[in-house]
Amino acid sequence: MDFKESPQATLFYLHMLKLPGLIDPHVHLREPGAIHKEDWDSGTCAALAGGFTMLLAMPNTQPPILDGASLELALLAARGKARCDYAQFVGAGAGNADAAARLAPKAATLKMYLDQTYGELRLDDMSLWHAHFEMYPREFPIVVHAEGRNMAAAILFAAIYDRPVHVAHISLKEEILLIKAARQHGIKITCEVTPHHLFLTTPFPVLGEKEAGRTSRRMEVRPRLATQMDVDALWNNLDVIDCFATDHAPHTLAEKDSTNPPPGFPGLETALPLLLTAVDRRRLTVDDLIQKMVVNPRRIFGLPEQSETWIEIDEDAKYTIKAADLFTRCGWTPFEGWPVRGRLRRVVLRGVTAFEDGKILVKKGFGRNVRG
Ligand code: NCD
Ligand code: ZN
Ligand code: ZN
């Protein structure tokens, strides 16, 4: 099956669903610097087990990816360990607009952190945004972590510099409505939504936490989980959502249960079953999945097509999400105990079976840098 002309789902024997390999444009792999949470090996195993054949890795590592040397550090680890295809983001810092722009051909694209979140990358002072908007090559979108009114400010910059901006993990009604309006005015804005912002609201007790005598630490995530009204607004404006991105942000259970828990949820292995279950409940269509998890991320980020690459799903298989079954190193999931329908059976990446019935079948280093 060739997805070149028009990517589409193919039904073949007994409710097996065949889709193109999924692309996740927002993943934290924690290497370099925090490989007790995840590394390029465990993270790309989790990706394949979740149906993703390509991912874009975020730059808020230790050290953060801000220049040629740190980019090389991340790509060296990736070359040795990645099992699916990838590209690495470069981060926007106070004085690296020039260097970042020069790295553009080797990077996924530029990431700007405009709010407080995990890691040290952050640009509070708006006067620091100009150089990046001016210098980063316009064929790539600048990705922003910008919530609420900071998102409005980022949209103003997109308008002033007439360049594409992709808003990471939107979560609020006011955000999706503003993006819709900005787009109607011709501003080049795209956006992504995570499964946790589509399926969870606050306050949200994670299974196991109550038993541990706590109710709020594990649910720390940026942007915070929102209200039912916000979640409804996302579902009611699905056409405004360009991509589903996991924002896979693994932190260990011990870290999450500590007095100062870092924000973030793992998500690579739960996104597809959760979304397939929503398809089963007629909340979205298989074509929505293909558009938002393959076609749009590829177009927005200018990613190459992966030849002979697809995934096979048993649409009828029902199971319960359990952290114990996951490849991520962090050891937990906010979706523990959730019943889902639709199980990934097989992943074929560039003609090679990379995952089948719960097993990873390709070696470390099989993954390719799509900006290599
Ligand atoms: C992310 C992380 O842990 O790196 N955390 C999160 O809560 N989403 C950072 C981010 O994506 O903002
Ligand atoms: Zn973020
Ligand atoms: Zn993130």
Give the pLDDT confidence of 334-351 residue by residue, as tens digits: 999 999 999 999 999 999
With 0.85 as the threshold, say if the pTM is over it.
yes
C-beta of residue 225 within 8 angstroms of C-beta of residue 197:
yes
Whether 28 is in the pocket of ligand 1, judged by its Cβ within 6 Å, is yes
Average pLDDT over residues 310-328: 97
Whether 197 is in the pocket of ligand 1, judged by its Cβ within 6 Å, is no
Nearest residue to 29 via CA among 3, 65, 2, 1: 65
Report how far residue 68's alpha carbon sits from residue 76's, in angstroms, rounded to the nearest whole number.
12
> How large a percentage of the chain has pLDDT more than 90?
90
pLDDT at 2: 46
Nearest residue to 187 via CA among 154, 170, 167, 164: 164
Tokens of 113: 């952190």
Tokens of 23: 């692309």
DSSP state string for 44-55 = HHHHHHTTEEEE
> How large a percentage of the chain has pLDDT more than 70?
93
Q: What is the pLDDT of residues 197-245, one digit of tens each?
A: 999 998 766 666 655 555 578 899 999 999 999 999 999 999 999 999 9
Whether 222 is in the pocket of ligand 1, judged by its Cβ within 6 Å, is yes
How far is the centre of ligand 2, averaged over its atoms, from the C-alpha of 145 (Å)? Answer: 5
Q: What is the mean pLDDT of the chain?
A: 94
Q: What is the pLDDT of residues 261-302, one digit of tens each?
A: 999 999 999 999 999 999 999 999 999 999 999 999 999 999
Pocket-testing residue among 116, 118, 167, 221, ligand 1, by greatest number of atoms within 8 A of Cβ:
118
Nearest residue to 267 via CA among 1, 49, 115: 49
Name the band, by pLDDT with cuts 50, 70 and 90, for residue 4.
very low
249 pLDDT above the threshold of 80: yes
pLDDT at 202: 84
List the strands of the sheet with 142-145, edge to edge.
Answer: 90-91, 110-113, 142-145, 165-167, 189-193, 243-244
Q: What is the pLDDT of residues 38-82, one digit of tens each?
A: 999 999 999 999 999 999 999 999 999 999 999 999 999 999 999
Name the band, by pLDDT with cuts 50, 70 and 90, for residue 16.
very high
Rama region for 270: left / alpha / beta (φ>0; ψ in -120 to 50; rest)? alpha
Q: In degrees to the nearest 10, what's the CA dihedral of 176, 181, 184, 189?
A: -50
Work out which ligand 1 atom sits closest to the CA atom of 113: 12
Which residues neighbour 343 within 8 Å (Cβ) at sequence distance 6 or greater? 273, 313, 314, 317, 319
C-beta of residue 97 within 8 angstroms of C-beta of residue 131:
yes
Tell me which of 87-96, 113-122, 329-338, 359-368 is least confident. 113-122
Q: What is the pLDDT of residues 147-205, one digit of tens each?
A: 999 999 999 999 999 999 999 999 999 999 999 999 999 999 999 999 999 999 987 66
How far is the centre of ligand 1, averaged over its atoms, from the C-alpha of 251 (Å)? Answer: 10
pLDDT at 119: 87
Name the band, by pLDDT with cuts 50, 70 and 90, for residue 3.
very low
pLDDT at 14: 67
How far is the centre of ligand 1, averaged over its atoms, from the C-alpha of 306 (Å)? Answer: 28
Which residues neighbour 2 within 8 Å (Cβ) at sequence distance 6 or greater? none
Average pLDDT over residues 7-26: 81
